[in-house]
Structure 1
Amino acid sequence: MLQREGEIVRGFCFPLVTASMVSIAAPSVHADQNLGEVIGTIARTVLEQQQAAHEQALWAGVVENGSAAAYRQYLDAYPQGPNAKSAREQLAKLEAAAAATNRAAQAEAALALTQADRVAIQRRLDALGFYKTSIDGVFGAGTRRSIAAWQESRKLPSTGYLNAEQLRLLLGRAGSTPAPAPPVVDNPVTSAAQAELNLGLTRPQRVQIQRDLIALGYDTNGADGLFGAGTREAIRAWQRNTGQRATGYVTAAQVGALRSDAEARGSEALGGRAAAIDEDLLGLTRSERAEIQQRLIGLGYLKGQADGVFGASTRNAISRWQGDNGLDESGYLTAEQVRTLREQVRR
């Protein structure tokens, strides 16, 4: 029989372990069985239960969040977890949708729509019952939702951005350019939007504006050269904080002021976010990311599988590789570093 609590059992002092101390039933113990093995079995079972509960709680939060970043976080924590396959599938869908939206935005930007063009589009959407807000020639969130709803009604990809063919289809004209629209009642936001359009900002210039805003502490939701709702709100916040009219659109003078303010703040203000932006602009596909991971694995910096998801483990591996090669340990790659990494593995 087992000794009473506190008595010596085979050279070790153990308190009596009962089923009430754990969430599982304690196994039966024979007189000649090693009590240490029994306790070890119970401890392992409890630990497995706790780990499973943590994984399920994390997965529930990821599903509720629904973002690509959330699925990447799960895969980094549980690359072989019970929900890893579902996480990869959802992440692939989100990345494909984001890539499609980015391509659609670029296609619309190539149309170089004027304010009159945009007003004509809004009027047409209004006539078709898809647009219910003010017609001002400014493509904000409301216009994007209206375009997406119209696209869905025509069984087109619901990106919220128009290409040349969709523009012709929407306006019902053979030509690719909308007819001039009636004059629009002027207001500060419309005037500011037109003034910004007249600047003819290139995509690199827009990226620089977004980076300057980030350096000054304003969140633009990325620096991709596409001025969406996040960038507009960041511009408005900066304008308010500097005593200017908060239109959400920049003038030539404001572009210069942003650049000067960001330079005065210093490059360190942007920190690792600049490196992240630069890597994002490379437009690495998931297969290219997996190839990079495979090279890191081959060089001994990364363990596990190459799944194309750059989580904490991959970022740490990149940082170590950068440090060993005398580079800034940002954890994010430049185009030159990608080439160098590939060449090192080939040797």
Structure 2
Amino acid sequence: MRNLAFAMVGAFLGASSALANGDALVIGNSQYTAVQTLFGAQRVAQAASALNAKGFDVTLAQDAGASDMRKAFGEFAEMLDDDGGPVVILLSGVFVHSVGGSYLLPVTGNGRIDEADVLIQGFPLDAALAVLSAYQGRAFLVLGETGAEPDLNLFLTAGLGELDIPQGVTVIRGPAMDVARYAARDMARTGRFVRRAAIEYELQIEGYAPQEQVIVREGDVSPPRGAIDPPLPDPFANRAADDVSWRLAQEADSAEGYKTYLNGFPDGAHVNAARQRISALTSEPFYRERRAEEDLELDRDARRAIQRDLTILGHDTRGIDGVFGNGTRGAVRRWQEETGLKVSSYLDRDQIARLQAQATRRAAELEEEEKRQQAERARQERALWRRVRDRGEEAGFREYLQKYPQGQFVDEARAVLKAIDKQRAEQAVGQDRRDWNKATQANSVAAYNAYLRDWPNGAFREEAKQQIAELQFDAERVRNSVQARNEEQGMNLNFVARQLTERRLDQLGMKPGKVDGQFDENTRAALRRFQDARGLRVSGYLDEQTMVRLLAGGIIGIDR
């Protein structure tokens, strides 16, 4: 076994006096050696303990291999009865999916993932959903997904994928750390509305989700007398000293601590788990750094703030979503290397403070730089307009419009050109006018070029050149928009990030419309105005450069 913390919790914590009307299976895989998650064994035990305190019969498996997960699932299925209470399956770790379904990866000794073995040894979510389908209206599948991205090549894809949820089954899913907090603190609270908790912990709900749904109802379960917190006693023997020493080793969670346990209990009940933990710790070069970060218990907002700071400093996190995946870890490594720190991809409290201070300074520099650039652009625009207005030449007005299509004096320039075009049309000969009308009906670069070839000195030659320039500008803007749209999609913006983007645009007077987290045409127009005013690529999409400028101006990062 990877960790012998597999037990029938509800059966041995005061079971003789418990009136349990709820059943739960909890599997938390936290040590994959090559792929680390953020849901530790201690939090799994906390979630199991909270459910047990409410009277649930709980089957718990921690850092489980394939056989451990099958055994836990079998024990859970055997104890199920139709007593009217809730049925909960909580799974946390690394998930993968294929066309045939989704799987929780087992913990293996070498940390390698064999895609063919996953289909046989992984825990199939279809099996969990099949069992839960028999308890419609009171069945809950809670899934905590790590930000790790395993190396897959053939027929598996990282992540949960799309689930085929039976009728009457509720699925609650989200990042492993957020699910961990919810499971340990709120899931077993009597009368706690599921949908409200999901909003608070930023989790997704799928399947059956009525407005006032709760997991534990008033009077639904009766807590067992004498229930105690983990560690969980072994039902098979009286080994108090062994268990106490093992608990101390787990709390230290260091190679030295586990070696001390092995020296004291060479034939103890946890020797296999201790040896495997020593192997995992010695093979993980940045174990202490990872633990230091996990001990900070960074919530989603704190993780978003770190991603924003990294982005401002020029380190792309591939999204500002509060999930520390490969993109964020890579950005942390680049920042640590640039700053002269130990490169581990994990952050401690001092490093986070240092990162924030650097980002604050860089944001102030960007703001000052932007103000200087805006002032210079405005000065150049006013100078050109004065020259154009003083000379009064048609070519000058067209030059101004081409250079400043959304400039301060656009309306005045267009009014002058409209008068010139009207006068020219009145003076043009019949064939010139007919060819011009033909070109305007086609309204293409080729049609205007054909007019210029036929009428190089025609009455509408300047207007034809202007139309060609505008059409080419529009084509360039379309190309920019396609590229920027792909960048925006790659940033994985969630509802909160979109809403705060709109709020910042509104604060800047860019008129994004309703602040509702929906990027409609009003938002796109506001982004185009912002980009044009800052000398950025004008696309109407939130690309990386636009995000950095908004971040520097205060977007999202104001809630430190």
Report the TM-score, using the length of structure 2 for normalisation. 0.26
Q: Computing the radius of gyration over CA atoms, which structure comes out larger, 1 or 2? A: 2
Q: Could you say which structure has the higher helix fraction?
A: 1
Report the TM-score, using the length of structure 1 for normalisation. 0.38
